[in-house]
């Protein structure tokens, strides 16, 4: 039963927040804050290094296939999957050079529309190298199931 | 940046909007690389169609990043305590995305001056792509 996966916690992952990647991400979303690109501007703003854009932590988790691990456990096909909801509950910022640790847990699994849609909800907690709780990310994945 | 002040904010007022685009496939390819989301539904029309979609679609998280920019062009990022969105519609290459935010409530009861914003990202036809909420603390 898929519902038995509720409460499953995945192995923690550790990610280095790379300057090049942070700038690349900021550029592709069209970010204009100089603190995301220029270390002098970042220091002037009081940051220890380049500021990570708001949604970067989701990508840091993506690097470690966190959603794919859930889909694999559900036996779901990636091309029939959409991202339903995403939230960030924020306690601290992420900066280039940080080493963050994340851990994902499945918090809910349920069906809608007579089983046509399967929902998986996860929470990923992110902490940093100075033991700050950086954020919690709640993710809802929706899988369009082929009904037999 | 002139920062908004809690005492001057009222429910129902809009924050400055942000319009992006039109989005092209190059931006989707770059975002796939930058974000780590290599799902072929964002890159490959054939694979997107096999999955039952009309063609490649814009990453939901790219649209959410645009909503994030709507917020960070209004306040410094550390003032954003919570940021969420529901992905309610699909955006396609060629779409222009407009991000809007409206003050839904103001609350000073917990010792901080917080506002809740209702957020919308919509396409050039006014179809809603994302519905979001943000909790922002102001001075």
Q: Is the pLDDT of residue A22 over 90?
A: yes
A147 against A138, higher pLDDT:
A138
State residue B39's pLDDT score. Answer: 87
Residue A59 neighbours by CB under 8 Å, 6+ apart: A25, B34, B35, B36, B37, B61
Across the beta sheet with B113-122, the strand order is A13-16, A99-112, A117-127, A133-144, A81-90, B80-87, B128-138, B113-122, B97-107, B18-20
* Over residues A126-132, mean pLDDT: 98
Query: What is the C-alpha R_g of chain A?
Result: 17
State residue A148's pLDDT score. Answer: 61
Q: How many CA atoms lie within 13 A of B57 on its CB side?
A: 24
State residue A29's pLDDT score. Answer: 97
State residue B90's pLDDT score. Answer: 94
Band the pLDDT of B1: cuts 50, 70, 90. low
The yes or no reply on domain A2-16+56-144 and CATH 3.90.230.10 is no
CATH topology (fold) of B6-138: Thiol Ester Dehydrase; Chain A (3.10.129)
The tens digit of pLDDT for each residue in B49-99 reads 987 889 999 999 999 999 999 999 999 999 999 999 999 999 999 999 999
Interface of B with A in 42-71 (CB under 8 A): 47-48, 50-52, 60-62, 64-66, 68-69, 71
Domain positions in chain B: 6-138
The tens digit of pLDDT for each residue in B107-121 reads 988 888 999 999 999
CB contact under 8 A, A54 and B77: yes
Q: ipTM of this predicted complex?
A: 0.94
Return the DSSP state at B124: T
Tokens of B115: 């506002």
A-B contacts at Cβ under 8 angstroms: 106
């Amino acid at each position: 039963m898929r519902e038995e996966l509720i409460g499953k916690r995945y192995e923690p992952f550790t990610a280095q927040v790379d300057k090049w990647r942070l700038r690349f991400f900021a550029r592709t979303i069209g970010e204009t804050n100089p603190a995301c690109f220029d270390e002098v501007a970042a220091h002037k703003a009081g940051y220890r290094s380049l500021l990570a854009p708001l949604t970067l932590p989701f990508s840091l988790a993506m690097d470690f296939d966190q959603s794919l691990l859930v889909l694999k456990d559900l036996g779901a096909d990636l091309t029939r999957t959409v991202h339903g909801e995403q939230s960030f509950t924020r306690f601290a910022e992420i900066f280039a050079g940080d080493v963050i640790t994340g851990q994902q847990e499945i918090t809910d699994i349920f069906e809608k529309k007579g089983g046509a849609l399967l929902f998986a909800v996860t929470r990923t907690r992110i902490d940093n190298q100075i033991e700050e709780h950086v954020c919690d990310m709640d993710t809802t994945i929706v899988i369009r199931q082929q009904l037999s | 940046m002139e920062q908004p002040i809690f005492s001057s904010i009222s429910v129902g007022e809009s924050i400055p909007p942000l319009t992006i685009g039109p989005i092209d496939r190059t931006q989707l390819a770059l975002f796939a690389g930058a974000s780590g989301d290599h799902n072929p539904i964002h890159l490959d029309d054939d694979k997107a169609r096999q999955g039952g979609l009309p063609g490649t679609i814009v990453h939901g998280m790219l649209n959410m990043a645009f909503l994030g920019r709507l917020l960070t062009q209004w306040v410094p990022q550390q003032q954003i305590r919570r940021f969420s969105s529901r992905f309610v519609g699909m955006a396609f290459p060629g779409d222009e995305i407009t991000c809007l935010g409206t003050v839904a409530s103001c609350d000073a009861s917990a010792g901080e001056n917080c506002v809740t914003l209702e957020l919308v990202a919509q396409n050039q036809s006014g179809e809603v792509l994302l519905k979001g909420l943000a909790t922002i603390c102001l001075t």
